[in-house]
Structure 1
Amino acid sequence: MGLFKRNPFGHILFLKKWLIRIAGALTHKRYRGFNQLHIEGSEIIRSLPDRNVLFISNHQTYFADVVAMFHVFNAALKGRENNIKNVGYLWNPKLNMYYVAAKETMQSGLLPKIMAYAGSISVERTWRAEGKDLEKHEQKQVKLSDFRNIEKALNDGWVITFPQGTTRSFKPVRKGTAHIILHHKPIVVPIVIDGFRRSFDRKGLRIKKKGILQSFVIKEPLQIDYETETVDSLVEKIEFAIEQHPSLLKVIPTEVLEEQAKLDQERQWRY
């Protein structure tokens, strides 16, 4: 690899490789030390082609989820069987791996900007700004450049996306993900994670609690009939695949109850 070889986004691969190496070494104990990461499905990662693969996952923290995926994917590609023993698997990491993230999140400080260089596809959220959901009339138009960047990344390698667009549980899947899948027809691999919200703060930078058993389950690729699949049917399929469909909500999480109580209080004063 040439010293100044770049990826389609202009990032120098030599620099990206060292960023992944350093970040991996600094974060390894977060998943194998302070806490333990239980992994299922490493063999699925090894069976995938080198490009046009879209990973869809539920989301629990801003950054810890993605960092875990870089660990798990690279460990699996180096032959680790459902474990991330010996961080040496990051010496030659997969460099054509990207993740979709909100532009406002990736521009919120020096560390996010550094992490963005490691593979972020920054998109502008149309339905949310400054940490708040927008009213329907306030929502912005989708930028075509965001879709083109995701297409560019899929043509080059693997893309990780969180189709709910938020770390809150059981929020609806955004239809944009379904449109991307139907248009580009990638291999779609669902991932279900748990324990990250208990392990880390919301940003996923600070360890909140130690001794948590985190889980990371890689599922078989979705079976999609592109002749008959609709956006709505695919959205529902994604919600079941990442275990975020409303019908699966047996126990309402505390944060959902708190959010509902806040909304009820606002309505009380509004009407």
Structure 2
Amino acid sequence: MGLFKKNPFGHYLFLKKWLIRIMGTATHKRYRGFNELKIEGSQIIRDLPDKNVLFISNHQTYFADVVAMYHVFNASLSGRDDNIKNVAYLWNPKLNIYYVAAKETMKGGFLPKILAYAGSVSIDRTWRADGKSVNRKVKFSDISNIGKALDDGWVITFPQGTTRPWKPIRKGTAHIIKKYEPIVVPVVIDGFRRSFDRKGIRIKKRNILQSMIIKDPLDIDYKNESIDQIVERIEYAIEQHPSFIKVIPEKELKAEEELNEQRRYSAKNH
């Protein structure tokens, strides 16, 4: 790899590699030490092509979710089965992994800017800005940039666009699937909301069992399935369809809602 080689977004790959190595080493204990990450389905990662793969996942924190995926994906590609033992897998990381994130989130300080350089495809949210509800059109350049990332490698997206559970799937993800016809791999995570603060930076509680389940790629009829049909598929695949609420104990749902209320109160007073 040449010292001055860049990816399609103008980021130097040499610098990106070192950022992933350093940040990965610094965060490893957050998933194997302070807490324990249980992984299922990592062998699926090794069977995927090098590009045009879209990972869809539920979302629990701003940054800890995607950092965990960088760990798991690179560990899997290095031959590890459902574990992230021995951080040496970060020495030669996959450099064409990207993730979709809100532009305003990635501008919020020095650390987000570093994480953005490591792989963010930053977009303007159409439904929320600066903590307020908005209604604006999707930017063609945002869709184009996601397509550019898919053409170069793998893209991680959180189709609910929020860390709050059971929120509707944004149809933009379905439009991207229809337009670029990527291999779509569902990922279901849990435990991150209990482990970290909302941003996924501060460790809130230790000894939490985190989990990440990587599922088989979806079999999508890109030409004939409607946007609504694909949205429903995504809801079921990442276990965020309303029907899943019925199988979750009422006590757990109540605790989740109380936690969300505490977060809203905390954000209001800071």
TM-score by length of 2: 0.92
Q: Which amino acid aligns with 1:16?
A: K
Return the offset for 1:247.
Answer: 1.0
Q: Could you tell which deviates more after superposition, 251-260 or 51-60?
A: 251-260
The 5 A counterparts of 1:81-230 are 81-132=81-132, 134=133, 138-230=134-226
Question: How large is the Cα RMSD of the aligned pairs?
Answer: 1.3
The superposition leaves residues 236-265 of structure 1 with CA deviations (integer Å, 9 ceiling, x where unpaired) of 1000000000111134354546879xxxxx
Distance 1:142 1:29, change over 3 A: same
* CA–CA separation in structure 2 for the residues paired with 1:227 and 1:17: 37
Q: Within 2, Cα distance between the matches of 1:205 and 1:169?
A: 19
Q: Taking every aligned residue pair, what percent have the same amino acid on both sides?
A: 73
Distance in 2, Cα, partners of 1:259 & 1:118: 29
Residues 102, 122 of structure 2: 8 Å contact kept: yes
Aligned residue type for 1:27: T
Q: What's the TM-score once normalised by structure 1's chain length?
A: 0.92
Contact 2:177 2:222 in 1 (8 A): no
Residue type of the alignment partner of 1:148: S
**Residues in 2 aligned to 1:100 and 1:94: alpha-carbon distance in whole angstroms:** 17
- Which amino acid in the other structure matches residue 9 of structure 2? F
Unaligned segments of structure 2, at least 5 residues: 262-270
2:57 is matched with: 57
Deviating 4+ runs (over 6 angstroms): 257-260
Q: Which residue of 1 aligns with 2:32?
A: 32
What CA distance in whole angstroms lies between the structure 2 residues aligned with 1:103 and 1:192? 24
- Report the secondary structure of 1:249's partner residue: helix
Task: Structure 1 unaligned segments of length 5 or more: list them.
Answer: 261-271
The one-letter code of the counterpart of 1:189 is: V
CA displacement 1:184-233 (0-9 Å, x = unmatched): 00000000000000000000000000000000000000011123200001
